[in-house]
Amino acid sequence: MSKKIVAVTACPTGIAHTYMAAENLSIAAKELGIDIKVETQGSVGIENKLSEEDIKQADAVIIAAATKVDRSRFQGKPVLEVPVEQAIKDAKSLIEKALKMEKPAGYVEKIEEIHKDRAASRTGAYKHLMTGVSYMIPFVVAGGILIAISFAFGINAFQNQGTLPAALMQIGGGSAFALMIPILSGFIAYSIADKPGLVPGMVGGMLAVSTGAGFLGGIISGFLAGYTVDFLKKSIKLPRTLEGIMPVLVLPVLSCLIVGLLMIYVIGTPIKSIMTVLTNWLAGMSKANAVLLGLILGLMMAFDMGGPVNKAAYTFATGLLASEIYAPMAAVMAAGMTPPLGLALATLIARDRFTEDEIEAGKAAWVLGISFITEGAIPFAAADPLRVIPSIMAGSAVTGALSMLFGATLRVPHGGIFVLPIPNAVGNLPMYVVSIIGGTVVTALMVTALKKKVAK
């Protein structure tokens, strides 16, 4: 009887890494003659969901994720938890390692201990932040598109109450965007402290909005709420008969009180001052500073193609949307599109520099690039990092700098070229397209110059 594995894949944006990891695990399992079922927790929600029967029949579980995944349903099973990138790079060894994990006496307790060690040494603040960002993105995308559609009727049409533009603005700006920072804060806290962290996290996020602390305040309140709940859970010991009131009364009340008072009296005002200075600087910065910022954001977007540095730039730009600063978002999306587009172009103009497999990958890179999936450059970078990575960083830096130089703006944090036709979604659309083309050409020319001809 063949072995069976179940797996869960997830990444912060739930678009590229999630499905690439799932596909690689499936291919590796087929090569090893092992049955596998992979649940993906992507941008559209959970797909191919694991049933109780699937988990019961499994010999081992693989969790390849960069966001928090609920492990409670896998109790009693060998669980191998790794970063999602590891399943993309070496799926076969993960499956072999998972199958070698045996189930000794006291296995669940041992797994919990390992999980705590990993949480302290490997996941950390980055994973918690990315969990919050992954839940926030759909709200920002939906809100941004609806606001842009409202503007299509006229830039001030929403001021006429009772009209469709006013309704669209109320849904997009007054509702979806209003939830952006509370969701970010709430799910950062959730990643740290599970469900009890949601209430103080979201309350802290609302206070970040009302005090003017913005997305920086939301990030701080999320971590504050999560670690406050975690501390309270460890510190407060109730009699067994009263344990039921901990999650519904004790933890919500105490954590909300602590987080709320700190946000109002300690954190809110100084963070508001920082946000005001940052917003004013971004709104009034010189062309030279704008170009420099765009260049830095472009370099960050291409450096690790969806990794921590890329996500730091993306989170920074997305957070600024709540403060009505739209230029960095434009630079970030354009710079994220450039790497796969530039490499796709290079496979057309310099076919003798690429293998047949890379030329085929170039066709898919066109689609990934226009969809703002920077990870489309990973196969090329993995094969020749010393030549490809500097090339894509140069192209993205040019694109980011040009976007900021031309004053392009973007109200939607994702979607690639598919959001460009939406009226008023992009400011200075013609020059924004020029920015993307410019960086694409720079990447293609540079990688062509650096790569050697492939021997036939």
Tens of pLDDT, residue by residue over 196-224, are: 999 999 999 999 989 888 888 999 999 99
CATH (domain of 84): 3.40.50.2300
Do residues 205 and 186 make contact, with C-beta atoms less than 8 angstroms apart?
yes
**Residues 297 and 251 placed together within one structural domain of the fold:** no
Which residue from 226, 287, 215, 277 is spatially nearest to 251, judged by alpha carbons? 226
> In this structure, are strands 60-65 and 45-47 parallel, antiparallel, or unpaired?
unpaired
- pLDDT confidence of residue 371: 85
pLDDT for the residue numbered 112: 39
310 occurs within a structural domain: yes
Choosing from 227, 252, 278, the residue where a domain stops is 278
**Banded model confidence at residue 122, pLDDT cuts 50, 70, 90:** very low
Residue 379 has pLDDT above 60, yes or no: yes
pLDDT of residue 442: 95
Out of 249, 278, 307, a domain closes at: 278
Instruction: Determine whether 11 is an active site residue.
Output: yes
Does 283 reside within a domain?
Answer: no
Q: How far apart are CA 432 and CA 417, in angstroms?
A: 11
Residue 331 pLDDT > 60: yes
pLDDT score, position 117:
47
Q: What is the DSSP secondary-structure string of 4-39?
A: EEEEEEE-SSSSSHHHHHHHHHHHHHHHHT-EEEEE
Instruction: Give the pLDDT mean for 262-267.
Output: 93
pLDDT averaged over the chain? 85
Looking at the fold, whether 87 and 131 belong to one and the same domain comes out as: no
Q: How confident is the model at residue 14 (pLDDT cuts 50, 70, 90)?
A: low
293 and 427 in a single domain? The answer is yes
Share of the chain above pLDDT 70, in %: 93
How many angstroms separate the CA atoms of 149 and 172, rounded? 9
Q: What is the mean pLDDT of residues 72-88?
A: 85
pLDDT at residue 106 tops 60: no
**The pLDDT value given to residue 266:** 93
Structural domains counted in the chain: 3
Q: Give the pair of three-digit tokens for residue 280.
A: 């004013």
Residue 203 and residue 261 in one domain? yes
Averaged pLDDT, 323-350:
91
CB 339 within 8 A of CB 374: yes
pLDDT digits (tens, 9 = 90+) for 382-394: 778 888 999 999 9
b/e map 233-266, b = 16+ CB within 10 Å: beeeeeeeeeeeebeeebbbeebbebbbebbeee
Do residues 211 and 311 both lie within one domain? no
Given CA atoms 57, 60, 66, 68 in this order, what sign does their dihedral have?
positive
**Vertex 201, ends 199 and 206: CA angle to 5°?**
95
**Segment among 22-36, 77-91, 180-194, 350-364 with least mean pLDDT:** 350-364
pLDDT of residue 134: 82
Q: How far apart are CA 391 and CA 446, in angstroms?
A: 5
Render pLDDT for 398-423 as a digit per residue (tens, 0 to 9): 999 999 999 999 988 888 888 888 87
> Which residue reads 């963070």 in tokens?
271
Residue 77: inside a domain, yes or no? Answer: yes
- Residues 308 and 369 both lie in one domain: yes
Judge contact between 338 and 396, C-beta under 8 A: yes
Q: What confidence tier does 443 reach under pLDDT thresholds 50, 70, 90?
A: very high
Of 11, 291, 341, 373, the active-site residue reads: 11
Cα 390 to Cα 451: distance, rounded to the nearest angstrom: 12
Q: Is there a single domain that holds both residue 249 and residue 296? A: no
Q: Does pLDDT of 367 surpass 70?
A: yes
CA dihedral 132, 135, 140, 142 (to 10 degrees): 180
pLDDT surpasses 60 at 105: no
Cβ atoms of 146 and 175 within 8 Å: the answer is: no
**Residues 128, 133: Cα–Cα separation, whole Å:** 9
Distances (CA, A) of 141 to 180, 219, 397: 10, 19, 25
Q: Which of 21, 39, 19, 12 is nearest to 88 (CA)?
A: 21
Judge whether residue 107 has pLDDT over 60. Answer: no
Q: What's the pLDDT score for residue 85? A: 87
Beta bridge mates, 37 = 6
Structural domain of residue 370, as residue ranges? 288-450
Burial label, 140 (beta-carbon count in 10 A; 0-12, 13-18, 19+)? buried
* 51: its two tokens: 């049933």
Q: State whether 441 and 294 are in the same domain.
A: yes
Instruction: Specify the pLDDT at position 338.
Output: 95
12: confidence class by pLDDT, cuts 50, 70, 90: confident
Residue 281: which of 315, 327, 334 has the closest Cα? 327
- What pLDDT score was predicted for residue 447? 93
Tell me the CA distances in angstroms from 203 to 229, 246, 258, 320, 322, one per residue in order: 13, 18, 11, 20, 17
Q: How far is CA 59 from CA 36, 38, 74, 90, 185, in A?
A: 10, 14, 11, 20, 37
> For residue 1, is pLDDT > 70?
no
Asked if residue 330 has pLDDT above 90, the reply is yes
- The crossing angle, in degrees rounded to 10, of helices 214-235 and 308-320 is 120
* Shared-domain flag, residues 293 and 432: yes
Q: Is 245 domain-assigned?
A: yes
Look at residue 118 and tell me whether its pLDDT is greater than 50. no
The reply to whether 228 and 184 lie within a common domain is yes
The backbone region for 354, taken as left when phi is positive above 0, alpha when psi lies in -120 to 50, beta otherwise, is beta
pLDDT score for 378: 79
Same domain, 363 and 438: yes
Grade residue 109 by pLDDT with cuts at 50, 70 and 90: very low
Using alpha carbons, select from 21, 22, 116, 84 the residue that is nearest to residue 311.
84
Are residues 412 and 331 part of one domain?
Answer: yes
